[in-house]
Amino acid sequence: NKRADELSNEAMDLHGTGVKPGHMVLGGEDRPQPRAVHPLLATDEPGTVQELPLDPAPSAPSTAARWTGATSTPTRLILLRHGQTEMSAQKLYAGHSDAPLTELGEQQVRAAAQRIAAGLDGEGFYGAQHIDAIVASPLSRAQRSAEILADTIEGPAVETAECLREMDFGDWDGLSFADAHARDPQLH
């Protein structure tokens, strides 16, 4: 409670100053120089904060030529979303629900995979000749989409990455947006 009171007091002290707690005020001709605003920088005098100069970021040698592929082979990242599921067709939250692809969803992924394959000629829109890795969430809709892509391009085996799993919508999983809003109007 004490920390909540401190944050509340800070917000009230800064109200009307144009500064939001935790935000930075940028300088201009008619504005003060940049300063950091953070709860830990508050002074003992209510409504004031310590002013600290902002150090510029250290300069580093430019690597833009490498990033653009001017001096090396560029890395390209192609993102493919899974195809339609019954839940997505009904506009339901599907977080961790393991909804499989519908027939239309499989057709959508095949069409996208063919488009990707057409771009892998070294001259196409990807400028690449092959795909080195296909990584997907462990959910069946993502796994099946990745398998269709791998089969279409005769690419590498699908790798599974737990960190790509869709977020967990908790009690909203399986609900429509309207139903979730009706259940939790303050949160939705």
Which of 6, 29, 166, 188 is catalytic? The answer is 166
The residues near 59 (Cβ < 8 Å, ≥ 6 apart) are none
Eight-class DSSP state of 23: -
Contact 84, 91 (CB under 8 A): no
Residue 166 is a catalytic residue: yes
Handedness of CA 123, 124, 126, 132 (dihedral sign): negative
Burial label for 51, CB within 10 Å (0-12, 13-18, 19+), is middle
Task: Give the integer Cα–Cα distance in Å for 153 and 93.
Answer: 31
Give the DSSP H or E segment for 158. strand 158-160
Q: How many CA atoms within 13 Å lie on the side-chain side of 91?
A: 5
Eight-class DSSP state of 53: P
Residue 173: name the closest of 185, 161, 183, 163 by CA: 183
Which of 6, 10, 82, 154 is catalytic? The answer is 82
Residue 181 is a catalytic residue: no
* Catalytic residue set: 82, 166
